[in-house]
Amino acid sequence: MAQRAGQTHRSLTMRTSLVAWACGSGLAALTGLADVVINEVMYHPPNDRDELQFIELANTGPQPADVSGWSFSKGVKFTFPANTTLPPGGFAVICRDAATFAQAYPQVTPAGVFEGRLKHGGERIELSDAAGKVADTVKFTDRAPWPVSPDGTGASLERICLTATAEEPANWSASALPPVKQPAGTPGMTNSVFAANLPPIADSVTWSPATPGKPVTVTAKVRDADGIKSVQLRYRSLDRDPKVAEQTVELTRTTGTAHEGTFTGTIPAQPSGRLLRFVIEATDAGGNVRISPSANDLHPAYSTFVVANTNRASVPQLHLLTFGGRESRGNSLRYRMGGPSGPEAARGEAALLYLPTNGPAQTFDHIRLTPRQGGWKLRLAKDAPLNDATTWNVLYEGKPRWALSESLGYELFRRLGAPAPNTDYARVSYNGRPLGYHLMVEQANSSFLRRVGYDPDGNFYKLLWYGQGIVGQHEKKNNPATGHKDLLAAINGLNRTTGDAQWEFIQQNFNVPTFVNCYVGSMCIQNWDGFFNNYFTYHAPGKDGKWELIQWDLDKTWGDFDGASWDYDWYEMPLNYGANAPGQRGPRAQMGFGFGTWERPPGYFSGPLLANPQFRQRFLTRLNEAVNTVFTEKEFLPVIDALERRLEPEVRYRGQISQGDGDGAVAEFKANIESFRNQLKNRRKFIVNELKRAR
């Protein structure tokens, strides 16, 4: 294995190109191949910094390889210039942006810059020789059986054995996973997972339910061309202590041959509540070893809780457990207002036991459990979502009413056909300490975008009330290299046009039904803070891509605002609210430290959109439909009633464990529920009357 770049890396200048290369003893010893192969791919750099994408080639043979005129024709476009030669056992790296690449990997001089962009979800990369014949190809994805870690953590996708086919997913691994999301990989040097001979392939690992007091049977399929010498299972049974000694179980072949077979063994019975983490270690006749899963994976072990699901409550149970260090939330204003703080960990060390109201228990291990105001962000691996979401906000903050208003608000948006995060409730415990019910809100992220049918490669922004100016108020959640150009163009286009020209611009650039439905929903629940901020906006990729709107943070709605009456008996937010039009000043209520109001200026989008005559007519028409079909007592009172029935036992339980007063908690809960019924009745009545006046 070659030493690190500072000791073994050299570079050559060859007329019109610079080729990055390094010689490793393992590579130089290879014989029997004269081909150049695809050796490493960085397809999804951390924090969506696509300018850091790169592809590495390796010369597998003992002789120099002339790659003049060789090209990539699928995945990206690049042709190696004349007089480009790779030394025996050498490497060539091409990248997307030379300057950015040089900052991250100063020890490597790239051979050139390719055109195009590697897709984050994976694709086919094809390398052809000077005659146009395909020399090597790989079609990878960001899902199993391909390694998942290279999808945005900082790790690259590394080939294990250069003489084995690139089309075999088991011949690829993530490079060493960095502790935080930062550029990693091994461009210009021997791969961190390099092996001269492909180690055994161990997959199709299954295990019986981990029931307390009963052994767990584990089965794996193992294959190797050289023959299988041994298969072992290594496990640890954890009870909050990550340093528990590892135990070993020998697996025995139950079917198959010396080269391929099914192996089975058992983990001894364990007590309830333990977390089992285990790996399969397979060794072939030549002594080559593979550990599955790899230590570089997002899931470096197979995991299962030893538990029987006895949950008979009306909500699921979330048992949160931390192992090792506690993830810091930081103390910056940006974090306290909902944004991230500092570098993100590439992989978490917490675990989640999810007990649904029916069905088997579910284990989510090596998750990131990030403290936030009133709870946590539950960051799951992309390939192991909970109820189709990879990140959940688990909340109980501020007024108990807020945990109700958010859920009811998002339900109304969904019924109106607007994209909205999913919500649920769960009884939560943290490291064994019961905390009572919490609201669960799906995070709007790339997983959410996929779920609602949006391409996650589009630009995604979050509105921040405390930012300065258009750029400062729009936190870009992805694609940082492309900046805010599309957003500025959209806002400028809205403001520099009027009348029919503005309406044409709106139709060309905005998904009108989505914006209409979002503003109708906000008008119904008096989302006074959702026109100026408290939303995400998304711009679909491509020249014809349109803007979309996703409402967010619905706590102070349904008659609530800073300084509102405890009866939440405010119903009169005007129908021209949020538009560039004369409005009404908000009611002010005396508070202990000043005044409260629901007023906000018009939003960058809502102002011109709701003031445009054609858009406004569609908004009023849809609002009239909503108060006659969706936002009605007949249709939505059952939603409120069902929420009351479902949560009342949980409210009592939380009141008992937190304040020793279950009856008081239930009384407040019922008063809040009644305020939602009153909002539905009286707010609808106000809107109906205002619509009649507008005719």
155 residue type, one letter = A
Q: According to the model, what pLDDT value does residue 183 have?
A: 95
Q: Which percentage of the chain shows pLDDT scores above 70?
A: 90
Q: What is the mean pLDDT of residues 217-223?
A: 98
List of E strands, 477-579: 535-539, 547-551
Q: Which two tokens stand for residue 282?
A: 């397979």
Q: What is the pLDDT of residues 315-341, one digit of tens each?
A: 999 999 998 666 655 433 444 444 445
User: What is the pTM assigned to this prediction?
Assistant: 0.90
Is 657 contained in some domain?
Answer: no
The mean predicted confidence, pLDDT, of the chain is 90
- Does 166 lie in the same domain as 23? yes
- Distance of alpha carbon 627 from its chain centroid, rounded? 35
Q: According to the model, what pLDDT value does residue 214 have?
A: 96
> CA 488, 489, 492: angle at the middle one, nearest 5?
80
Residues spanned by the domain of 501: 454-631
Distance CA 21, CA 86 (A): 7
Distance CA 5, CA 105 (A): 10
Distance CA 290, CA 277 (A): 17
Give the per-residue SS3 of 241-265.
Answer: CCCCCCEEEECEEEEECCCEEEEEE
Is 659 contained in some domain?
Answer: no
Q: Which percentage of the chain shows pLDDT scores above 90?
A: 84
* Nearby residues of 26 by Cβ (< 8 Å), 6 or more positions away: 1, 2, 190, 194, 196
* Nearby residues of 532 by Cβ (< 8 Å), 6 or more positions away: 463, 465, 578, 600, 601, 602, 603, 606
Q: Give backbone dihedrals phi and psi of 497, rounded to 5 degrees, phi first.
A: -120, 160
Q: Which residues in 332-370 are b (16+ Cβ under 10 Å) and which e?
A: eeebeebebeeebbbbbbbbbbbbeeeeebbbbbbbbbb
Q: Which two tokens stand for residue 215?
A: 């052994």
Q: Is the pLDDT of residue 16 over 60?
A: no
Q: How confident is the model at residue 293 (pLDDT cuts 50, 70, 90)?
A: very high
Q: Is the dihedral of CA 231, 237, 241, 247 positive or negative?
A: negative
Q: What is the mean pLDDT of residues 230-255?
A: 92
Is 169 contained in some domain?
Answer: yes
Is 654 contained in some domain?
Answer: no
- Does 471 lie in the same domain as 595? yes
**Terminal C-alpha separation, the chain:** 80
User: Strand 201-207 relative to strand 172-174: parallel, antiparallel, unpaired?
Assistant: unpaired
Q: According to the model, what pLDDT value does residue 581 have?
A: 76
Q: What is the mean pLDDT of residues 213-231?
A: 97
Q: According to the model, what pLDDT value does residue 695 have?
A: 77
Is 695 contained in some domain?
Answer: no
Q: Give backbone dihedrals phi and psi of 12, rounded to 5 degrees, phi first.
A: -120, 140
Considering 442, 473, 495, which residue would you say is the last residue of a domain? Answer: 442
* Nearby residues of 467 by Cβ (< 8 Å), 6 or more positions away: 473, 474, 475
> CA 307, 308, 313: angle at the middle one, nearest 5?
115
- The answer to which of 184-188, 598-602, 604-608, 634-638 has the lowest mean pLDDT is 598-602
The SS3 assignment for 491 reads helix
User: Strand 589-591 relative to strand 594-596: parallel, antiparallel, unpaired?
Assistant: antiparallel
Q: Which two tokens stand for residue 248?
A: 């070993």
Report the CATH number that the domain containing residue 74 is assigned in CATH: 2.60.40.1260
Q: According to the model, what pLDDT value does residue 356 have?
A: 97
- Does 466 lie in the same domain as 399? no
Q: What is the pLDDT of residues 24-83, one digit of tens each?
A: 333 333 333 348 999 999 999 999 999 999 999 999 999 999 999 999 989 999 999 999
Distance CA 84, CA 80 (A): 7
* Nearby residues of 1 by Cβ (< 8 Å), 6 or more positions away: 24, 25, 26, 190, 194
Distance CA 299, CA 205 (A): 14
Distance CA 300, CA 406 (A): 36
* Residue carrying the six token digits 């994408």: 53
Q: Is the pLDDT of residue 591 over 60?
A: no
- Helix, strand, coil percentages (3-state) for the chain, rounded to 5, are 25, 30, 45
Q: What is the pLDDT of residues 153-201, one digit of tens each?
A: 999 999 999 999 999 999 999 999 999 999 999 999 999 999 999 999 9
Considering 273, 305, 337, which residue would you say is the last residue of a domain? Answer: 305
Q: Is the pLDDT of residue 592 over 80?
A: no
User: Strand 91-95 relative to strand 112-113: parallel, antiparallel, unpaired?
Assistant: parallel
Is 480 contained in some domain?
Answer: yes
Q: What is the pLDDT of residues 99-152, one digit of tens each?
A: 999 999 999 999 999 999 999 999 999 999 999 999 999 999 999 999 999 999
- Does 26 lie in the same domain as 122? yes
Pair 318, 354: CB distance under 8 Å? yes
Is 548 contained in some domain?
Answer: yes
- Does 620 lie in the same domain as 487? yes
Q: How confident is the model at residue 583 (pLDDT cuts 50, 70, 90)?
A: low
Distance CA 203, CA 214 (A): 24
Please indicate whether residue 53 or residue 589 has the higher confidence score (pLDDT): 53
Q: What is the mean pLDDT of residues 368-375?
A: 93
- The answer to which of 176-180, 508-512, 521-525, 622-626 has the lowest mean pLDDT is 176-180
- Does 356 lie in the same domain as 231? no
Q: How many CB atoms lie within 10 A of CB 686?
A: 17
Q: According to the model, what pLDDT value does residue 339 have?
A: 47
- Does 601 lie in the same domain as 500? yes
Considering 275, 305, 335, which residue would you say is the last residue of a domain? Answer: 305
Distance CA 68, CA 14 (A): 11
Q: Is the pLDDT of residue 593 over 70?
A: no
Q: Beta partners for 247?
A: 235
- Does 355 lie in the same domain as 297? no
Q: According to the model, what pLDDT value does residue 659 have?
A: 86
Alpha carbon distances (Å) from 199 to 26, 166, 168, 170, 485: 15, 14, 12, 9, 49
**98 sits in which H/E element:** helix 98-104
- Cβ burial of 255 (10 Å; 0-12, 13-18, 19+) is exposed
Distance CA 9, CA 510 (A): 51
- Does 458 lie in the same domain as 421? no
Is 655 contained in some domain?
Answer: no
- Does 472 lie in the same domain as 325? no
- Does 607 lie in the same domain as 574? yes
Q: According to the model, what pLDDT value does residue 240 have?
A: 74
Residue 219: which of 202, 238, 236, 235 has the closest Cα?
A: 202
Q: What is the mean pLDDT of residues 447-462?
A: 95
- Does 233 lie in the same domain as 170? no
Q: What is the mean pLDDT of residues 236-260?
A: 92
Q: How many CB atoms lie within 10 A of CB 431?
A: 11
Q: Is the pLDDT of residue 621 over 50?
A: yes
Q: According to the model, what pLDDT value does residue 344 have?
A: 87
Report the CATH number that the domain containing residue 298 is assigned in CATH: 2.60.40.10
Q: According to the model, what pLDDT value does residue 596 have?
A: 57
Q: Beta partners for 250?
A: 232
Q: According to the model, what pLDDT value does residue 328 have?
A: 59
Alpha carbon distances (Å) from 161 to 57, 216, 286, 288, 664: 13, 34, 15, 12, 66
Helix residue spans in 321-401 (DSSP H)? 333-336
Q: Give the number of domains in the chain.
A: 4
